[in-house]
Structures are given as structure tokens and as C-alpha cells.
Amino acid sequence: MSKTYKVAVLVGSLRKDSINRKLARAMMALAPASLVTGLVEFADLSLYNQDLDGAPPAPWVKFRDEVRTAGAVLFVTPEYNRSVPGVLKNALDIGSRPYGQSVWSGKPAAVVSASPGAIGAFGANHHLRQSLMFLDMPTMQQPEAYLGHADKLFDAEGKLTGEETRKFLQSYMQAFAAWVAANAKP
């Protein structure tokens, strides 16, 4: 029996009908059996405030515990003003604190970005990678995934419509599975 890895999937958009949420769900469905994926929600996280570290709010504790138990993380994000959405950055900050107790450290990661625009949230993808490098998360470099015109990739029910996109996402998830297996903590 091959080894399985629990993957926390974080979506940078809070909107229920977001393109990136649809994309994350499609990618989860295309994941190989070695990846056990699950969305980790963070809409209820208050802004990070170091004063709260002594008695963190319950949503912080829940979020940290969910990420801590994962062996890898898949980030799926839109781009806001050429960067990551503030809610995603806040989740990174909450997970990285208190200092020395980061839930991110050493977890293999991958970043996928999508937008209705032509460049597929390229800026957000690379800003997020910069943070992940600092957080000590080995992040898959290839293949890259920037999905432009992503609003055209799904039908009215939120299902992926293009066969070429489906094949690309499936191969991306297979590459991520290999990345996780090669970089996971023992």
C-alpha cells in the first residue's frame, strides 16, 4: 500500500462562488489517491494581534490545529492589487505565530493562481511564494499554474468544462503528489 499524505487546501478568496474555490474543488477531485485533500477555512480569523497569543481566540486554535495535522499545503488564490488577498496573508501570519511555533515549517507546498484576467494572478502567485520561502515551506517550482480567463473554465454548476484544462490540472496534482512524497517530513 502506498503512503498517503493529508493536504490542507487554502483558498485565498472567501466568496462562496469564487473562481478559485471552484478551481480548488476541481483540483481536489483530480488528486491522486496518495493525497487526501481537505479545505481549511479561515473566514472567521480575526486580524493577527500579538497581544492575543497568550490566550488565542478559538478560531485561531482551530485553524492552527488543522494546518498542523496536514503533511502538505496547496494554496489556490486570486490576485488583489498585484498581491495576495489580505485574508490569506492574515492566515499565514496567524499560522506562523507565536514565534518559533509555526504550523507551516517544513511542509511541502504548491501555489496555483487564477483570475478572469489574462495573466492568471501571476503577481499573487509570486508574492505568496516569497512568503512561503520565509516560512520554510519547500514550494513546488514546476509545473507552474497561472490560469488566466478562469471565469470561462466552469459551467453554471461550477464544474470544469475544458478537457485540456482538466488534463493540465490532473498532471499538476500528480506532480504535486510526487513533490510531497519527495519533501514530506518523515
Q: What is the tens place of the pLDDT at every residue in 7-25?
A: 999 999 999 899 999 999 9
Looking at domain 5-183, what is its CATH homologous superfamily? Flavodoxin domain (3.40.50.360)
pLDDT (average), residues 114-141? 95
pLDDT given for residue 93 in this prediction: 98
> Rounded to two decimals, what is the model's pTM?
0.96
Tell me the three cell numbers of residue 80. 488583489
| pLDDT tens-digit map of 153-185 | 999 898 999 999 999 999 999 999 999 999 998
Percent of the chain with pLDDT over 90: 92
Cβ-based neighbours of 141, under 8 Å, separated by 6 or more: none
* C-beta of residue 160 within 8 angstroms of C-beta of residue 166: yes
| pLDDT tens-digit map of 50-62 | 999 999 999 999 9
Rg (CA), the chain: 16
pLDDT given for residue 1 in this prediction: 54
* C-beta of residue 74 within 8 angstroms of C-beta of residue 176: yes
140-143 LR contacts (CB < 8 Å, sep 24+): 140/108, 140/109, 140/110, 140/111, 140/175, 140/176, 140/179, 142/175, 143/171, 143/172, 143/175
Average pLDDT, the chain: 96
Domain locations along the chain: 5-183
* C-alpha separations of 78 from 12, 21, 73, 115 in Å: 6, 10, 16, 6
* 160 closest CA partner among 15, 28, 13, 9: 28
pLDDT given for residue 138 in this prediction: 98
Burial of 96 (0-12, 13-18, 19+ CB in 10 A): buried
Tell me the three cell numbers of residue 56. 488565542
Query: DSSP letter string over 11-70?
Result: ES---TT-HHHHHHHHHHHH--TTEEEEE---TTPPPP-GGGTTS--HHHHHHHHHHHT-
The answer, yes or no, to whether residue 2 has pLDDT greater than 90, is no
Q: Which of 1-5, 19-23, 71-75 has the lowest mean pLDDT?
A: 1-5
